Every structure is written in structure tokens, then in C-alpha cells.
Structure 1
Amino acid sequence: MTPETVIDILREALWMIVLLCSVIIMPGLVIGLVVSTFQAATQINEQTLSFLPRLLITLIVIIVMGPWMLTKLLDHAHRLISSIPFLIG
């Protein structure tokens, strides 16, 4: 196995991690920004007001996007496992 192959496999794995994590984190970031703007406008300084909406949107995103994320992860694992004979030889 050449160093270029190892780097290519690592690059694909890191891209998969970034893709799957961003699907979960981005909606929470947007909701956090909206709630923070609301808190700044109304001068309400309550910690649970910002935590609960982010938690709920994260759970909803995981429920809705979970099958897609699992499919992407399994496709990547299948490609990696099926390419083992070509990587060794």
C-alpha cells in the first residue's frame, strides 16, 4: 500500500466525518443564533431558553436525517471493505 493510497483513504474518512457532523451541528447553530438574537432583543438572560431549542432541533435532525447518515456511512464502509484485496496486493 502506497502512502498516496493511505492519504486518500484518510481524506475520504475525514470528509465523511465532516459531512455527518455538519448535518447534525449546523441546524443547532442556526437555532442558537436565532435564540441568541431573541434574547438580546428582549434582554432575557435565561440559560435554558437557549439550551432546550438546540437540544430539540438536534434530536429532530438525528431522527429525520439518521437513515441518510447511516446509508452514507455503510456505503463508505462497504467501499472500504470491498477494496481491501486491491489495497493489499
Structure 2
Amino acid sequence: MTTDMVVALSRQAIETALFLALPMLGVSLVVGVIISVLQAATQIQEMTLTFVPKILSMFIALLIAFPWMMDKMLNFTRELLMNIPTYIR
């Protein structure tokens, strides 16, 4: 296994991890901005007001995006396992 192969495999693993985190992080960002605007408009500064909607929205996003995420993880794992003979040479 050459240095280039290790770098390419690491890059692919990091890209896959970022793509898998993207739906939850995006939903959390949007919900956080909306809640912050509502808090600024109403001047309610309660910490649980931001925490609970973010957690619930991330859970819903996870439920919706889970089939896509599982497909991405399976494809990455399948490609990794199929290329093991190439990696050990």
C-alpha cells in the first residue's frame, strides 16, 4: 500500500463522514437560526428553547435521511472490502 493510496482512502473516508453528517448539521443550522430570530424578536432567553427543537429536528432529519446514509455507508464499505487485495499488495 503506497502513500498515495493511504491519502486517497483517508480522503474518501473523510468525505463520506462529512456527507453523512451534512443532513443533520444543515437541519440543526436552519432550526438554530429560526429559533435565534424568534428569541431576538420576543426577547426570551431560555436555553432549553434552542436545545429541544434542535434535538427533535435532528432526530427527524436522521429518520428521513437514514436510508440514504445507510446506502452511502454500505457503498463505502463494499468498495473498501472489494479493494482489500489491491491494498495489501
Which structure has more RCO (C-alpha within 8 Å, separation ≥ 6)? 2
**Pairwise TM-score range, normalised by the shorter structure:** over 0.9
Residues 27-67 of structure 1: per-residue CA shift (max 9 Å, x gap): 01110111001100110111111111111100100111011
Equivalent residue pairs, number: 89
Seq. identity, %: 36
Cα distance in 1 for residues equivalent to 2:53 and 2:3: 45
Q: What is the TM-score with the length of structure 1 in the denominator?
A: 0.95
- Structure 2 residue identity aligned to 1:30: V
Displacement over 3 Å in runs of 4+: none
Q: What is the TM-score with the length of structure 2 in the denominator?
A: 0.95
Provide the residue aligned with 2:77 in structure 1.
Answer: 77
Cα distance in 2 for residues equivalent to 1:19 and 1:5: 21
Unpaired segments of 5 or more residues in structure 1? none
